[in-house]
Amino acid sequence: MKVREIMTDTVISVKIPGSRADAIKKILKENISCLPVVKRGTKELIGIVTREDFARNPEEEQLALLMTRDVKTISPEADIREAVEIFSRGEFRRLPVVENFEVVGLITVSDIVWRYISKLGLTYPVEKYMASKITSIWEKTPLKVTYEIMHLSGERAIPILNDEGKFTGIIGDTDLLKVLEVSESTVKSELSGGTEGDKWGWNTKNIIYITKKRLEFPDKVVKDIMIEKVVIVRKKTAISEAAKRMAKNRIEQIPVINAEGDLIGIVRDSDMIKALL
């Protein structure tokens, strides 16, 4: 199967010059994880901006400084296994599809799971690809701390535990992005000068006001915004069945529970594609 057959060919992109606000608006509206960045008036790829970039650089408003410039790309005629091999190395989750120097599509790890693995009828149990050592957090953890934990652990979604240590929900990077607020602060800077050695010289002052806008998390805890109705699987669920549930709900990972409803692991799309190697 070729990349062309499962890639997203309706490319939603942002243009340079452009702003952070435009990019965030598009990502949330379309419920996507990234945007190719193209030169205004063309389809020429010059970078990519992802959900993670906004929280990682909260003070940066210029899209040109937020985006990643050295982007790995793939041809629409490449075999799907070439994309799988690139993704399996863990360096990338998304590949712009480029033909004749123009962006014609985008393929992600999730596309392979949702549009390919879900249709293969693979019967391997998910436990073969399940991560049993996972990061989880308390439901009363502040959002700022939650983001730091997510960033340091490299997770895109984290299961939530209540006061009794029971699994009660999940929170993802998109959930955090939705609640980011723009805070504005102004700093006054004075530049003074006079006539050196002249006690009668006039002192002059130039006052500069510098206004900064940065993204900040509101004073809320995880429980306020977490997803409580979580799509789950059991450890014996077939991998293609798990992929179908992920595709239906447009999620990148799915928690695994036991008969008692306790969390025992999580299956990520990046682990699931290893079934194709």
Phi-psi label, residue 41: left if phi above 0, alpha if psi -120 to 50, beta otherwise = left
What's the whole-number mean pLDDT along residues 197-207? 54
Beta bridge partners of 15: 38
94-133 per-position pLDDT tens digit: 999 999 889 999 999 999 999 999 999 999 999 999 999 9
Q: What is the DSSP string of 81-93?
A: HHHHHHHHTTS-S
pLDDT at 215 > cutoff 80: no
Closest CA to 104 of 27, 19, 13, 2: 13
Half-sphere exposure of 206 (CA within 13 A, CB side): 5
What's the whole-number mean pLDDT along residues 83-104? 91
Closest CA to 45 of 94, 110, 113: 94
Instruction: Evaluate whether 191 touches 206 at the Cβ level (below 8 Å).
Output: yes
What's the whole-number mean pLDDT along residues 82-86? 94
36-47 per-position pLDDT tens digit: 999 888 889 999
> Are both 3-115 and 126-178+219-276 of the same fold?
yes
**The pLDDT value given to residue 250:** 92
Closest CA to 189 of 213, 212, 208: 208
**The pLDDT value given to residue 42:** 87
Beta bridge partners of 39: 16
**The pLDDT value given to residue 70:** 85
Q: How confident is the model at residue 191 (pLDDT cuts 50, 70, 90)?
A: low
Q: How confident is the model at residue 197 (pLDDT cuts 50, 70, 90)?
A: low
Q: What superfamily does domain 3-115 belong to in CATH?
A: CBS-domain (3.10.580.10)
Beta bridge partners of 238: 125
Percent of the chain with pLDDT over 70: 88
Which overall architecture, per CATH, does domain 126-178+219-276 show? Answer: Roll (3.10)
Helix/strand/coil percentages in the chain, nearest 5: 30, 35, 35
221-242 per-position pLDDT tens digit: 999 999 999 999 999 999 999 9
**The pLDDT value given to residue 92:** 85
* Domain boundary assignment for the chain: 3-115, 126-178+219-276, 181-216
- How far is 115 from 244, CA to CA, in rounded Å? 9
Burial of residue 61 (number of CB atoms within 10 Å: 0-12, 13-18, 19+): middle
